Structure 1
Amino acid sequence: MELKAGADPADQALSVAFQQHYEDLHRFLARKLGCPSLAADTVHDLWIKLRADLSAREVRNPRAYLFRMASNLATDRIRQERARARVVGPSSAQDDVASDQPSAETRLDYHQRLAILRRAIDELPPRCRDVFLLHKFGGLTHMEIAGRLGLARSTVEQHVIRALAHCRTRLKQELA
């Protein structure tokens, strides 16, 4: 991506524009392709194509020209991936990819922690439990809970702190 002395001014203008807009091109392609590494490959393909294409002389708007080329390359890449998926099949490509779903072990751990938290919440005094549930699961602020239950804001805060401490203690006890 270096500029050479004595190079054609049109080539230099495109080279300078490419260097100036490299990050923008990468972000644009990452959004279009949905994959930053595929976008990086496509930006590099754009550079190679740009250097090989001698008909790219006298471009009035180098930035627009680069983005149009990038868009065309991305469209070509998407078509290639779709054609490959039709030939190879979607399942064979997915067999080698790590799942974004939690493992069975992780799901079991979540269920155990959830059961412990449910028991811990059930152990709370009724008013403390009501305040905690309204705050954590009802999404109400301390002021809204205070108004709804006729409590002082500081009392609501104390109930929330007490409930959180109790839940944390129960988790540590049962998971130790």
Structure 2
Amino acid sequence: MDSDETLESVVADSRKKLIVALMRMLPSAEAEEVAQEAFLKLHQSEKVLAPEHVRPYLFKIARNLALSRLRHQKVVVQSNSKLFIQYQLSGDVMSSEELLSNARDKTILLEAINAMPPICRQVFVYRKIHEKSHTEISQLMGISINTVQNHLSNGMKLCRQYILTIQLAHIDSMPSTKKVS
């Protein structure tokens, strides 16, 4: 039996059990997505495994993917609550237009942060939301200070690009003010 046949049989035999296992950690739809992603990663893996090790490896891939999703969700929730608290503490009385504009700006910023690659996003959140120093981030994540600085620089660049893209899309969607004679 070749490796493709082994993979196909593992996928066929493990699909239901894998999704059930993932549903202990994630909602049903996400469990199915993670299972599909795990199958893809298993297929793309260049590891040569004995047939009896393929299924445990698949479950390990799926577990790691699920944990990554859960960590990402935790960062998003923490970021949202921190921004909400800062907003509440600002205490400024604003008009309805200002409130709507600020809410839109915060939504765009959160979308920009969530669009970042995972490690870049985590560094960005530690620095900009949790106000950790470069040294603290380096120690927390086990990366060099230079890497922290690179991720922050990249994160700022990605935020600017995302916001600029949104602004340009908004301008493009505005009705034209030119009069046709």
Do the two structures share a fold, i.e. TM-score over 0.5?
no
- TM normalised by structure 2 equals 0.41
- TM normalised by structure 1 equals 0.42
Structure number with larger C-alpha Rg: 1
